[in-house]
Amino acid sequence: MVSRRRFLKLGAAVGAGLLMPRAWYASQLAAATPHVPGLFPMLDPTTLTKYLDPLPLPGVLQPVGKAKGGSYYIVQMNQAIQQLHAQLAPTTVWGYNGLYPGPTLEARTNQPVTVKWINNLPAAHLLPVDTTLGGTNMGEPAVRTVVHLHGGHVPQAVDGYPEDAFVPGGSATYIYPNAQHASTLWYHDHALGITRLNVYAGLAGFWLLRDAVEDSLNLPRRAYEIPIVIQDRAFNADGSLFYPTGPDEHVESALPMPSIVPEFFGDTILVNGKVWPFLEVEPRRYRFRILNGSNSRFYNLALGGVTFRQIGSEGGLLPAPVDLTEILLAPGERADVLVDFAAYTGQTLLMTNSASDGPFTGLGNDPPAEPATTGQIMQFRVTRPLQGSDTSSWPTTLPPFQYLSEASAVQERFLTLNEGEDDYGRLMLLIDNKGWHEVSEYPVLGTTEIWSFANVTPDTHPIHLHLVQFQILDRQQFNLKHYEKTGKVVFIGPRMPPDANERGWKDTARMNPGEVTRIIMRFEDYTGFYPYHCHILEHEDHEMMRQFQVVAGM
């Protein structure tokens, strides 16, 4: 237990490049990886002037025509060169239509769209592929992609099944029904065993779903509605993306090379694909769709005490607006928020991050984000003159919300989030001690279930289910020490309700160490196999991903 833990912490520290002297790490890396070009030296992020570049706004994807499945889009995954900061040499990235982040797909509820996803990437991967993982250890081609609409309620055939990945030259055409509430969805790569690398290389974009209910709220639109994807990266001095070839232990052990790292924490923050950008705003209301698109990093966002009025979570509108001065987002989570800049004319507001610079535990003793780097996200400058009066609303209530009742559940499943060890002695994270191919959850179509996850690891895991939007019922602490000795969950506190901004539809939820988190959901419309997994991408790729099978009722 102790040594595994050490492994995790050291690996995380290496990824962060912050907890250990950079020179020491670089020398270890150089010694261990003499044949990997471009890895040394790394870029010191403090050499980049912050708030030099304007925040890029992802373009809206335009259809190329009509198909029987609605508007028809073609998206090519391309390798491209992009300027991620004015003082940084251009970076080779992978992007949908060659753009990092990808273009935003704007859709309407119940109006299906068809997308042809084409893999036009090179045959060699941009980043170090570990060939010992499920999905990579059978001689699979290094470059494989499959697109997943995160938060989408879709048939299995278009969900982006991780084993249905296609190689360069390949493509897949998916019809998306969009039969769900207006919501902040996102699409990203999901190829088995290399999701962390494909997403890190740039394969992610927004998918905004709108409906009449949302329209009726008169929220800020067009120039005043801005998607924000926050991601951490690290760079080599030549501007190329840095991703570790392995944890530092590979120096002293027989780990494969490259080897997956337990987590990755970059020392540089990008928003919409720019390093520490700024946004000029008018003194009025704005709507921001905030997505944590990072591999492992959590963010606790603040705007110097300015209120975020959160109106939505992953799957749509909250039961009621929630005013917050800090928003905690795990990888994969989204917050739909309004900010009113009217009282801040002429001011510059800094969005900061106070979450951990390593694995997030939520226990209050995590290493805090570095104030000079990962503690900063972007600037908002209230310097634009107001264009006409702000007629958007600042909702104090939201449309009626349908809570799922515990009594309607026909099944309660108990699962653990736990640590294991792979054949190389590496720490891996598991769900219920089982692997990707060991299916044991068979929800019946048309029924409601409660799933209880007991997190017996030391870190918080953001657990994501495909197909469904769920609701968090509660969280309850148990005695972790006692569990380690006896394997029994003994509760030591009351059931705690979810945070106010977690009481809507969720598809990704933080599950804290030493707590049982209970979620409730209905399995509707589609049968088949769907993944559920930790959205820390290094965990997802190293066995913390399983699948459930929705089966037809009798």
Contacts to Cu ion by CB under 5 A: 150, 461, 466, 534, 536, 539
CA distances from 504 to 414, 511, 533 (A): 22, 16, 20
Task: HSE, CB side, 13 Å, CA atoms: give it for residue 268.
Answer: 30
Token duo for residue 495? 């059931």
Extract long-range pairs of 30-35: CB within 8 Å, 24+ residues apart.
Answer: 31/251, 32/245, 32/246, 32/250, 32/251, 32/257, 33/245, 33/257
Q: Which is nearer to Cu ion, 352 or 469 (CB)?
A: 469
Which residues make Cβ contacts (< 8 Å) with residue 371, sequence separation at least 6?
none
- The residue from 209, 262, 531, 539 that contacts ligand C2O (CB under 6 A) is 531
CB of 539 to Cu ion, least distance (A): 3
When CB distances to ligand C2O are compared, the closest residue is 150
Stretch that binds ligand C2O, among 14-22, 175-183, 432-440, 529-537 (CB under 6 A): 529-537
Torsion of CA 223, 229, 234, 237, to 10 degrees: -20
Q: What spatial distance separates the first Cα and last Cα of the chain, rounded to whole Å?
A: 45
Q: Which is nearer to ligand C2O, 244 or 531 (CB)?
A: 531
| 4 interface partner picked from Cu ion, ligand C2O, none, CB below 5 to 8 A per type | none
When CB distances to Cu ion are compared, the closest residue is 534
Q: Which is nearer to ligand C2O, 50 or 150 (CB)?
A: 150
The contact pattern for ligand C2O, residues 439-478, with x = CB under 6 A and - = no contact, is: -------------------------x-x------------
Token duo for residue 322? 């929630």
Q: Which is nearer to Cu ion, 79 or 512 (CB)?
A: 512
Q: Are 203 and 293 in contact, with CB atoms under 8 Å apart? A: no
| 546 interface partner picked from ligand C2O, Cu ion, none, CB below 5 to 8 A per type | none
H runs (alpha helix) in 157-307: 195-201, 212-215
CB of 332 to ligand C2O, least distance (A): 5
CA nearest neighbour of 316 among 73, 85, 53, 505: 505
Which parts of 183-212 interact with ligand C2O (CB under 6 A)?
188, 190
**Which letter does DSSP use for residue 485 in this model?**
H
Q: Which is nearer to ligand C2O, 340 or 540 (CB)?
A: 540
| 461 interface partner picked from ligand C2O, Cu ion, none, CB below 5 to 8 A per type | Cu ion
Stretch that binds ligand C2O, among 130-138, 348-356, 512-520, 531-539 (CB under 6 A): 531-539
Q: Are 433 and 416 in contact, with CB atoms under 8 Å apart? A: yes
Token duo for residue 472? 């968090």
Size of the site for ligand C2O (CB under 6 A): 10
Q: Which is nearer to Cu ion, 287 or 334 (CB)?
A: 334
Peptide bond into 128 cis (omega under 30): no
| 531 interface partner picked from ligand C2O, Cu ion, none, CB below 5 to 8 A per type | ligand C2O
Q: Which is nearer to ligand C2O, 15 or 531 (CB)?
A: 531
* C-alpha to C-alpha distance for 165 and 135, rounded to whole angstroms: 10
Identify the helix (H) or strand (E) that includes residue 428.
strand 427-431
Handedness of CA 282, 286, 289, 295 (dihedral sign): positive
Stretch that binds ligand C2O, among 7-15, 87-95, 402-410, 528-536 (CB under 6 A): 528-536
Q: Which is nearer to ligand C2O, 390 or 441 (CB)?
A: 441
CB of 206 to ligand C2O, least distance (A): 13
CB of 457 to Cu ion, least distance (A): 8
Helix-strand-coil split of the chain, %, nearest 5:
15, 40, 50
Q: Which is nearer to ligand C2O, 464 or 510 (CB)?
A: 464
Token duo for residue 372? 């000079």
Which amino acid, 190?
Answer: H
Peptide bond into 155 cis (omega under 30): no
Q: Are 101 and 58 in contact, with CB atoms under 8 Å apart? A: yes
| 539 interface partner picked from Cu ion, ligand C2O, none, CB below 5 to 8 A per type | Cu ion
CB of 541 to Cu ion, least distance (A): 11
Token duo for residue 486? 């006896």
CB of 303 to Cu ion, least distance (A): 28
Stretch that binds ligand C2O, among 43-51, 81-89, 176-184, 527-535 (CB under 6 A): 527-535
Say whether residue 9 binds ligand C2O (CB under 6 A).
no
Rg (C-alpha) for the chain, rounded Å, is 22
Which parts of 273-332 interact with ligand C2O (CB under 6 A)?
332
Residue ranges binding ligand C2O (CB under 6 A): 148, 150, 188, 190, 332, 464, 466, 531, 533, 535
